Amino acid sequence: MAFDYLVEVKTESNYGSGTNENVFLRLVGARKTDGDWFLDKDGMDDLEATENNPCYFLLRTEEFLGEINSIIIYVEENKCDNDSPAWNLDYVNVYFKKGLPDEKKWNFPVYKWIGVQDRDPSIKMVNYIEIDQKGSIIKQWAPTELTNGGITKKKVENHGAPIPS
């Protein structure tokens, strides 16, 4: 049985806040952790501050993750593009409904620059972070320190297409 989580990702709206780097998200649940989803929008600059902001991604898991306690979000270098190396992320919301009487929502206020450190030295940013629902950084990693713990990178189901009406 598959379980679907809808993720809303909001980039800060000022010019230059978006990124073309490769962005990945991991959900850390009370029962299980799953990810790393490549948050990619087919045929578009990824996670730009445009009319398609916020972006919605459908993440499918094989098991129920339980309460989502935190998220791990990180940016890896897009070797094809030197434009927009840093990303000013406002928040990530995670929604789940299957089998529950009401939709469940977890909010993760980030309000930080995330990016590949040596690609834009003008901005103080983090590269790999785990954020809780209060917006507190639980942990930061250097690029060589984050292990996947057996988690493989995967594509999202809808590639950033608008879902809510």
Tell me, yes or no, whether 118 lies in a domain: yes
Number of domains in the chain: 1
Residue 24 CB: number of other CB atoms within 10 A? 20
Q: Which amino acid is at 109?
A: P
Tell me, yes or no, whether 133 lies in a domain: yes
Residue 29 near residue 65, CB atoms below 8 Å: yes
Tell me, yes or no, whether 123 lies in a domain: yes
pLDDT band at 18; cut points 50, 70, 90: confident
Tell me, yes or no, whether 74 lies in a domain: yes
Tokens standing for residue 28 = 């850390």
With a CB cutoff of 8 Å and minimum separation 6, the contacts of 146 are: 72, 74, 128
Residue 74 sits in a domain of what CATH number? Answer: 2.60.60.20
What whole-number percentage of the chain has pLDDT above 70?
Answer: 65
Tell me, yes or no, whether 162 lies in a domain: no
pTM: 0.82
pLDDT digits (tens, 9 = 90+) for 101-119: 567 999 999 998 887 666 6
Domain range for 64: 3-155
With a CB cutoff of 8 Å and minimum separation 6, the contacts of 88 are: 11, 12, 14, 16, 17, 18, 112, 113
Which residues are registered as beta bridge partners of 144? none
Tell me, yes or no, whether 163 lies in a domain: no
38 SS3 class: strand
Tell me, yes or no, whether 24 lies in a domain: yes
